[in-house]
Each structure stands twice: as C-alpha cells, then as structure tokens.
Amino acid sequence: MKVVMVTAIPDERRRIAGGVASVAKYLMDEFAKIPDISLTVVVPQGTKEKETTYEKSGGVSVFKLPRRGFWKFLPGTVYDIFAGRLQVKRFIKQIEPDIVHFQDAAFLAADCERRSVLTVHGLSEKDAAWDARWGAFRWLKCLILKLTEDYGRRRTPHIILISDCVISALPENKRRKTWRIDNPIADSYFDIDWEPESGRLFCCSRLTPLKNITGMIEAFGRVLQRAPHCRLRIAGTGEPGYLNDCRKQAATAGLQSRVEFLGNLSVSEVQRELSKANCFAMPSFREVAPLSIAEAMAAGVPVVAAAVGGIPDMVEHGRTGLLVDPHDARDIGDAIGRIISDERLARSMGRRARRIARDRYMASVVAEKTVNAYREIIGERHS
C-alpha cells in the first residue's frame, strides 16, 4: 500500500513538541515496521530553502515543500489559500499514492483527487482566540481559520476523530464516514518504572495562556501551604512574554525555589521526569486529546486535569486521576493535595491508567487501526 501523509513533523527528532508533529512521528515509526506499507511524508511549508528538500528517515521518504512566489510573504493559512493547496495537490499527483492521510490540514484535504482521510486533531479556529501574537487582529485569524477549516471538513468524505468532543464542530455531510481512533504515543512510555518522589509535580505543555500555567502556579502555592516539601517542574516552550509572566508570578509569590522551568525536553528526559512524578497536572482552558496526558497514563502517573474538551474521555475521575475546574485554583490545589497525600490512591490510579492507555494509545495499536481504515477506504474504490 502506497501511503502519503501530509503533516508537520518535529524539527528535532529527539525533541517532541507535542501535537500533530508528535502524532506523525509516532505513526511514521510504526508504519516503517509494516512490510506492505510504503510511506511518503509531505511537509507543507516545511523548509526555508528555495527548492523541495528530501531526506530518508527510518525507511520513510520525507519531502519538505518550500513557500514559493509572491504569496510566500503571507501568513501560513493565507498562503495555503492562494498557493499552498495547489502546491500540495500537484506534488501528491506526482507520487500517485493509494491513499493520502492529511493530519489536521483540513483546507489542504478538501477535494483531494486521490482516496484520502483527514484526522481532525483540534479546533484551531477556537484555539486562535488565545494567540496573543496577533493582538487586536485575533478575530481576523479566527475568522480565516473558521472559513478554511469548515471548508475542508465539509469537502472531505473520510475523517478520523481523536476525540468525540470535535464531532459537534463538523459541518453536516450525510455522505461522510468517520472512524474514532486515539492519538498514538511511543511504546517506550509503557516501559517506564514509576518510582515517584513524594510531592514532585510535573507539568509538560506549551507555555501559552491557553494552557493556564499561571493558574497551575497559583494552585501550587496553595499546595505548598499544606505540603511545604513539594516541587513543581514545568517542561515546554512557548510564548516568551507568557513565560516571563509565569516566572514573575512565581517570584512574586516567593515560589522561585520550588518552581522549575525545564524548557524543551527530549523524549527520554520527559520519560525520566514521569518516572519520578508523584502527580501529573494539566489545568488547560481548552484541550481535545493532549498527548502528555496519554503519556502520563502510560507511565502509570495519576493525572490532575481540567474537565474540558476531550479530557473527561481520557481521565476517569476518581479512578485514573481527578478532573478539576481550570478557573478555580483552590479546586486544582485540593485535587493535587489529595493525590500526593495518599500513596495508596495514587498507585491505584496509576495502575488503572496504564491498563487503559495500553489498549488505547500504544502506537502499534493505533497504527493497526489506522491501516484498517485505509484498507476500508481503498476497498470502497474497488467495490
């Protein structure tokens, strides 16, 4: 089976930034192990070079397309409208695949001439409302994304959903067929030996207002009032201005010696952090199906996370972790305090979380489900 995957990929293979790029990386690694799958990855707007670049990675061919022409000076989505979609379409035509898998690139997927499937990873038009980089023009970005994403979702007949929470956002299409397949994580997360250090909290996320890191720090201050030995370790990169705000907040509250900003970690470094974490916390304001929660579950770490979006479909309240109100620092702090003060509860949650993660998020399992969806779509053509 000749497969083309249109997706972003990590800039540094050993450092996983999360989101779509991580999903693509894990699927690439699994597809490379399947003898009858020939995978080509196409990365739109993937290089600053003037020409398309090519590399071979673990048996997978990777082509990174450049931005071209006058339109290259425009923002990414606007570039896709005027040039990017046609560029991807022409490149795919040269390869002649059996199926094309678009990872969260709805506008690019619209009216694809080959058999195709789109994985909807999130609602970028809603996330854009939190993007401070656009300032007063955020409304414009939201509008452009809303129009282009809806256009793509409406004109794509096959869709993979990573969470039930995005179903309501799909435009009506009676001929559409959907599959419910979770995001994959590396199998190595299941090999972690969880030996937690008392009071060690871990948060792994992009540092943006959407992720509510300031709320996490405020909640941690409340935890320290009852458990002074606790430490909060925050991994990830993001908006420099927001990172400075987080550092200032910690310093103003006198928490600078207890809150550590770790930066962008490698996969092995994240796994080392999880192996020692007493609790994993993610009080975001919006999420669909965060990989970091799946990774924590695979490692057997109890989770405290916001009861928003697709998180309640991942975390069983009281059984694999605790769900909280992201707007309530007291609620977040109380949930963390409950886990770190009860070792028996924490281990019980961790064991159940790992069992569930193995059935849902193991990369080999997800890859098999994805290939089965490919075969079903290709079978439609033959029938």
Q: What is the pLDDT of residues 236-294, one digit of tens each?
A: 988 888 999 999 999 999 998 999 999 989 889 999 999 999 999 999 999 999 999 99
Q: Which strand (E) or helix (H) includes residue 382?
A: helix 363-382
The pLDDT tens digits for 193-237 are 999 999 999 999 989 999 999 999 999 999 999 999 999 999 998
Q: What is the CATH number of the domain that holds 226?
A: 3.40.50.2000
Same-domain check for residues 170 and 253: no
Alpha carbon distances (Å) from 86 to 2, 109, 214, 342: 21, 11, 42, 57
Q: What is the pTM of this model?
A: 0.90
Same domain, 103 and 238: no
Are both 293 and 322 inside the same structural domain?
yes
Same domain, 168 and 191: no
213 and 94: one domain? no
Domain that holds residue 225: 187-360
Same domain, 67 and 114: yes
Pair 347, 374 in one domain: no
Same domain for 371 and 337:
no
Residue 214 to residue 270: CA distance in whole angstroms: 21
The 10s digit of each residue's pLDDT in 18-28 is 688 889 999 99
Task: Say yes or no: 305 and 172 in one domain.
Answer: no
Beta-sheet pairing, 158-161 with 99-103: unpaired
The verdict on 19 and 140 lying in the same domain is: yes
Phi, psi of 190 (to 5 degrees): -80, -10
Instruction: Give pairs for 80-88: CB < 8 Å, separation 24+.
Output: 80/44, 80/107, 80/108, 80/148, 81/107, 81/148, 84/44, 84/45, 84/108, 85/110, 87/44, 88/6, 88/42, 88/44
The residues, ordered by sequence, that sit 6+ positions from 336 with a Cβ below 8 Å of its Cβ are: 201, 219, 220, 223, 279, 281, 304
Q: What is the pLDDT of residue 140?
A: 83
The total domain count for the chain is 2
Q: Is the same domain home to 169 and 265?
A: no
The Cα–Cα gap between 43 and 70 comes to 20
Backbone angles phi, psi at 287, to 5 degrees: -155, 155
For all residues of the chain together, what is the average pLDDT?
A: 91
pLDDT tens sequence for the chain (383 residues): 999 999 999 876 555 556 888 899 999 999 999 999 999 999 999 998 989 999 988 789 999 999 988 888 888 888 999 999 999 999 999 999 999 999 988 999 999 999 999 999 877 777 777 776 667 777 788 888 888 888 888 899 999 999 988 887 777 776 789 999 999 998 999 999 999 999 999 999 989 999 999 999 999 999 999 999 999 999 998 888 899 999 999 999 999 899 999 998 988 999 999 999 999 999 999 999 999 999 999 999 999 999 999 999 999 999 999 999 999 999 999 999 999 999 999 999 999 999 999 999 999 999 999 999 999 999 875 54
Same domain, 213 and 76: no
